[in-house]
Amino acid sequence: MAEHSGPDSGKHKANHANANSAALLHGRAGAGTGAGGLSGGLSQPAGWQSLLSFTILFLAWLAGFSSRLFAVIRFESIIHEFDPWFNYRSTHHLASHGFYEFLNWFDERAWYPLGRIVGGTVYPGLMVTAGLIHWILNMLNITVHIRDVCVFLAPVFSGLTAISTFLLTRELWNQGAGLLAACFIAIVPGYISRSVAGSFDNEGIAIFALQFTYYLWVKSVKTGSVFWTICCCLSYFYMVSAWGGYVFIINLIPLHVFVLLLMQRYSRRVYIAYSTFYIVGLILSMQIPFVGFQPIRTSEHMAAAGVFALLQAYAFLQYLRDRLTKQEFQTLFFLGVSLAAGIVFLSVIYLTYTGEWYAKIHIPIIASVSEHQPTTWVSFFFDLHILVCTFPAGLWFCIKNINDERVFVALYAISAVYFAGVMVRLMLTLTPVVCMLSAIAFSNVFEHYLGDDMKRENPPVEDSSDEDDKRNPGNLIVTMLMLMLLMMFAVHCTWVTSNAYSSPSVVLASYNHDGTRNILDDFREAYYWLRQNTDEHARVMSWWDYGYQIAGMANRTTLVDNNTWNNSHIALVGKAMSSNETAAYEIMRSLDVDYVLIIFGGVIGYSGDDINKFLWMVRIAEGEHPKDIRESDYFTPQGEFRVDKAGSPTLLNCLMYKMSYYRFGEMQLDFRTPPGFDRTRNAEIGNKDIKFKHLEEAFTSEHWLVRIYKVKKLDNRETLDHKPRVTNIVPKQKTAVLDL
Amino acid sequence: MYGPRYLINLLLLSGVGGGEEKSFNLLAEKVEQLMEWSSRRSVIRMNGDKFRRFVKAPPRNYSVIVMFTALQPQRQCSVCRQANEEYQVLANSWRYSSAFSNKLFFTIVDYDEGADVFQQLNMNSAPTFMHFPPKGKPKRADTFDLQRIGFAAEQLAKWIADRTDVHIRVFRPPNYSGTIALALLVSLVGGLLYLRRNNLEFIYNKTGWAMAALCVVFAMTSGQMWNHIRGPPYAHKNPQNGQVSYIHGSSQAQFVAESHIILLLNAAITMGMVLLNEAATSKGDVGKRRIICLVGLGLVVFFFSFLLSIFRSKYHGYPYR
């Protein structure tokens, strides 16, 4: 909290941008009434308008970019978290070995001994984008390191997202709302959470692709031109190459078409747009190796196919109606309608079930990831602030003034809000639509209460000047209060970004009472130790959270990593961690483990360490090996999980416990606490006399955050169970020597 | 069926030895009796005598799962009833599975029929699940840990698999109530549409549709889905001083009442925004428009600051008001 008065440049810019957009509305409304409200030679309102738009979009980009730089300013230009490390490593591979080598890459350093075919199991869009930018910059003789390209990719793309949101909102409502929406999305925490500098992840570029695809889709529905639809397909292709969330698009667009049909808003434009989109988009999406034949096989894509068939049938019926008599047509129509109703029913059932499916994931490995939890209202408010309360108003205005493309935004809002409620990470897909609809609501209000200033100059006939005097102070108050709300929003956004979403989690920081800062760089210290001091082909066992980081920073072979595709392998590691040393040694020998790496936070009070995650390891291991591992063994008879003397003996002797607390009992952190006091769990540990037989401590980082153990090889010779044979032949020479 | 053939084997074997013959006969008789009962009902009801003869006394070559419970209405044990339902599901799954054999029987002892059993086993809480192995006395792990694991049929099946090596796939009779409700709703809507087929204007009523959309949005943004999945209590009553708190103290959780409050606040703010717009666009007289405008503004400002203060109370360390 001491840091909070730090660099607030983003906030000021954001305020500036918001204020500016309000000013623009001011100007626009003036231009709209044609009264020439702006002083000076306003000969060409359109010119002013585009200049203002351009300036505001540029400022929004700048504000968005700079508010994402907290982590870089406080720490350094570094890749964050876990998944980005894998993306970075693959991008590095792409940049140094070329595109084809990347597509065929078999990574033998992951999932030992299985390996991983990386080229066929990733969405390559992110890596290709970063690689391309790096290549172009190097072509221009601007030599930047690929890491810096990766770190700053997401902030740069946030500007592009702002522009595509502006374009989409302009299509839906008007330019003023578009500019507000661009400002909102540039600084809203729900999007910043996934796109700060250093978080080099798929979502960073995917939200741009999502918004841009939707913009082009709306454009193609509006115009019915094949050109726009092909552009939409290309954008969709980019989205498919970038993120698995493309499924959202391929379900939302058919839903839009379907609802348009139900509302009897069918037109040639819709027919052309959707038919082209479905066919071309399908073929393009199948070009991504990881997607392959999924679009024609899996159930997520069937709704699109169903709606395609339905649209063809509907168009055919329309054609027949022009040709046939009324009587003939009616029988045909009933046939068609019953058929269509069947398809619709199936697709609706399907849609409900996919939604339910998200909610009903109970596999422990999925339940162990905190991103897959449902969302509380606090998360909504935290990520969206005022927007969460005002966007329903925008939705209201859209439905009250419905047209083809507003149907789309309403469906977008409702489906996205449902999915965001089910799973907290899908807040990301909700954020853009919330920004657009809130912008519509605010822009509506501003337009009415700022626009009246212009009317005053040449008052309409029915308004007497008396009324005007009464109304204007009210207008001013409304405007001021609304601007105040927006200012609070900007302040909130900056605070959230600075405090919640700008920690690299690879480097930790702690603050003293006087506000000075300690950097805890234990992770990198340990990874570099591994890199420098171990054999190049050494196999490191750790819990899956750290797999990508070990591969990326230490460049060593890992057994499991964050791509959790093989549950039984993970369970085996979990079993080794939760067994006693002898049993664990057998597992580790069968997996050729050379080193074991664990995270231990008991010295500094870091709560995300392996002992706190330990129950998940036990649960996942129990799922695969119910005979050997039982969760109940790790609890006290009262059902508590404790590490002190009262803890269960199984826990106190398992490998994870022993590795975490080895020699910790000798360490007194504080005069007030006994030796071996764990600060994370606030308990004195129960087993202080830990000895290893098959392992030895290899490295412990400065604050004990990372501990690395070496797995000993088997002893050279097995000890004999009988006495060595004794012979009575005494070597003569030796005795002779001794005699001398 | 595996059972009868096994019985024949037993009878054939029973002719071998003198002393063992009697015990074999006794065993065969017991197994036959139990099989007959369980063919009639999947859960065998026992009183004290039966319990001692079939469950406690040797010889046995079968496992018995016993649920000690109190199902009489006057006992007012609602947990027992729920546990009994799950137990019945499990027993039926076993009874009608292809692996059904005479290795495992499900029985029930009600307190009002066999209070002496409860005393004998020193048991003072119901429901309790116990496993009686074929040989020897039940150990500590043969009592099901109801407090920690709960009494879902799946958990019971896991426990039984652990104790007896008999794997039961729990088969729940499909729950048709959801489907029936859906069908009812569809037919209701269809009927309504049919009744009003001459006047279908109301389908095109945008206000109705907008209301429906907003309802979905408000339900989601106030965390009703979280409530649905996590099932929190409605509100929390402090046992010491009896104070009722409607707002959960942590930002990680919420009460049902709290989410309702948030829903209303969100709705009020949205309404304020809509009213502000109405005030500017409607063609009423000026005084009315001013009032609408003021009301809208008041709604937005007042309820938003209220919402912010609730957020502040939950999110510790939030610096702004």
**What is the pLDDT confidence band of residue B21, given thresholds at 50, 70 and 90?**
low
Are B30 and B125 found together in one domain? yes
A461-470, Cβ contacts within 8 angstroms, sequence gap of 24 or more:
A467/B286, A470/B286, A470/B290
A198: left (phi over 0), alpha (psi -120 to 50) or beta: left
- The predicted-structure confidence for B77-106, as pLDDT tens digits, reads as follows 777 888 888 888 888 888 887 778 878 888
Q: Is A695 exposed, middle or buried (0-12, 13-18, 19+ CB in 10 A)?
A: buried
Residues of B in contact with A359 (CB under 8 A): 225, 229
Query: Quick one: pLDDT at residue A207?
Result: 93
Choose the final residue of a domain: A442, A457, A487. Answer: A442
Alpha-carbon distances, residue A312 vs A252, A302, A307 (angstroms): 18, 15, 9
Are B150 and B217 found together in one domain? no
Residue B176 lies in a domain: no
Peptide bond into B127 cis (omega under 30): yes
Residues of B in contact with A444 (CB under 8 A): 277
Q: Answer whether B223 sits within 8 Å of A421, measured CB to CB.
A: yes
Residue A6 lies in a domain: no
**Residue A374 Cα to chain centre, angstroms:** 15
Residue B118 lies in a domain: yes
Q: Answer whether A374 sits within 8 Å of B220, measured CB to CB.
A: no
Are A410 and A295 found together in one domain? yes
Query: Quick one: pLDDT at residue B234?
Result: 84
pLDDT reading at B290 higher than 90: no
pLDDT reading at B303 higher than 60: yes
- DSSP at A580: B
Helical H runs in A34-124?
45-67, 70-74, 83-97, 99-103
Nearest to A376 among B228, B253, B281 (CB): B253
Are A706 and A591 found together in one domain? yes
Residue B295 lies in a domain: yes
Are B52 and B154 found together in one domain? yes
Residue A36 lies in a domain: no
Query: Quick one: pLDDT at residue B9?
Result: 45
Residue A289 lies in a domain: yes
Query: Quick one: pLDDT at residue A25?
Result: 40
Are B142 and B44 found together in one domain? yes
Q: How many CB pairs under 8 A join A and B?
A: 151
Are B25 and B148 found together in one domain? yes
When divided into structural domains, chain B yields a total of 2
Are B81 and B144 found together in one domain? yes
**What is the pLDDT confidence band of residue A28, given thresholds at 50, 70 and 90?**
very low
Residue B198 lies in a domain: no
- The predicted-structure confidence for A128-179, as pLDDT tens digits, reads as follows 999 999 999 999 999 899 999 999 999 999 999 999 999 999 999 989 999 9
Domain limits for position A617: 519-711
Are A72 and A193 found together in one domain? yes
Buried (b) or exposed (e) across A427-453, using 16+ Cβ within 10 A? bbbbbbbbbbbbbbbbbbbbbbbbbbb
Please report, as a single letter, which amino acid is at residue A267: S
ipTM of model: 0.77
**What is the pLDDT confidence band of residue A733, given thresholds at 50, 70 and 90?**
low
Under 8 Å between Cβ of A626 and A574: no
Neighbouring C-beta atoms of residue A406, cutoff 10 Å = 20
Is the pLDDT higher at A22 or at A435?
A435
Residue B165, token pair as written in the block: 């090596």
Domain limits for position B135: 18-164
Residue A17 lies in a domain: no
Are A434 and A549 found together in one domain? no
Residue A270 lies in a domain: yes
Give A100→chain B minimum CA distance, Å: 45
- The predicted-structure confidence for B132-154, as pLDDT tens digits, reads as follows 888 777 777 778 777 667 777 88
Under 8 Å between Cβ of A558 and A594: no
Residue tagged 């003569």 (tokens): A732
Are B128 and B215 found together in one domain? no
Alpha-carbon distances, residue A638 vs A615, A632, A635, A665, A679 (angstroms): 16, 10, 7, 25, 23
Are B78 and B145 found together in one domain? yes
pLDDT reading at B11 higher than 60: no
Q: Answer whether A471 sits within 8 Å of B290, measured CB to CB.
A: yes
Residues of B in contact with A397 (CB under 8 A): 274, 277
Is the pLDDT higher at A316 or at A469?
A316
Residue of B nearest to A370 (CA): B252
- The predicted-structure confidence for B230-270, as pLDDT tens digits, reads as follows 778 888 877 777 788 888 888 788 888 889 999 999 999 99
Mean pLDDT of chain B: 79
Residue A340 lies in a domain: no
**What is the pLDDT confidence band of residue A6, given thresholds at 50, 70 and 90?**
very low
Are B30 and B137 found together in one domain? yes
Residue A686 lies in a domain: yes
Are B146 and B214 found together in one domain? no
Q: What are phi and psi of A338, to 5 degrees?
A: -65, -40
**Can you tell me the mean pLDDT for B156-185?**
78
A105: left (phi over 0), alpha (psi -120 to 50) or beta: beta
Residue B50 lies in a domain: yes
Query: Quick one: pLDDT at residue A21?
Result: 43
Query: Quick one: pLDDT at residue A413?
Result: 93
CATH code, domain carrying A529: 3.40.50.12610
3-state secondary structure of A707: strand
Residue B130, token pair as written in the block: 């116990």
pLDDT reading at A259 higher than 80: yes
- DSSP at A542: -
pLDDT reading at A366 higher than 70: no
Query: Quick one: pLDDT at residue B155?
Result: 80
Measure the CA–CA gap between A488 and A441, rounded to whole angstroms: 17
Are A257 and A119 found together in one domain? yes
Measure the CA–CA gap between A621 and A624, rounded to whole angstroms: 5
Residues of A in contact with B186 (CB under 8 A): none
Q: Answer whether B319 sits within 8 Å of A495, measured CB to CB.
A: yes
Query: Quick one: pLDDT at residue A473?
Result: 63
**What is the pLDDT confidence band of residue A234, given thresholds at 50, 70 and 90?**
very high
- The predicted-structure confidence for A570-614, as pLDDT tens digits, reads as follows 889 999 999 988 889 989 999 889 999 999 988 888 888 888 888
Give B61→chain A minimum CA distance, Å: 23
Are B147 and B217 found together in one domain? no
Query: Quick one: pLDDT at residue A40?
Result: 44
CATH code, domain carrying B148: 3.40.30.10
Choose the final residue of a domain: B164, B192, B215. Answer: B164
Are B152 and B212 found together in one domain? no
Choose the final residue of a domain: B142, B164, B186. Answer: B164
Under 8 Å between Cβ of B149 and B80: no
Q: Answer whether A471 sits within 8 Å of B286, measured CB to CB.
A: yes
Is the pLDDT higher at A82 or at A514?
A82
When divided into structural domains, chain A yields a total of 2
pLDDT reading at A13 higher than 70: no
Query: Quick one: pLDDT at residue A18?
Result: 44
Choose the final residue of a domain: B114, B147, B164. Answer: B164
Nearest to A250 by CA among A191, A294, A287, A203: A294
Give the N- to C-terminal CA distance of chain A in Å, as an integer.
82
**What is the pLDDT confidence band of residue A359, given thresholds at 50, 70 and 90?**
very low
Q: Answer whether A448 sits within 8 Å of B280, measured CB to CB.
A: yes
Q: Answer whether B225 sits within 8 Å of A375, measured CB to CB.
A: yes
Nearest to A632 among B148, B218, B273 (CB): B148
**Residue A17 Cα to chain centre, angstroms:** 26
Residue B6 lies in a domain: no
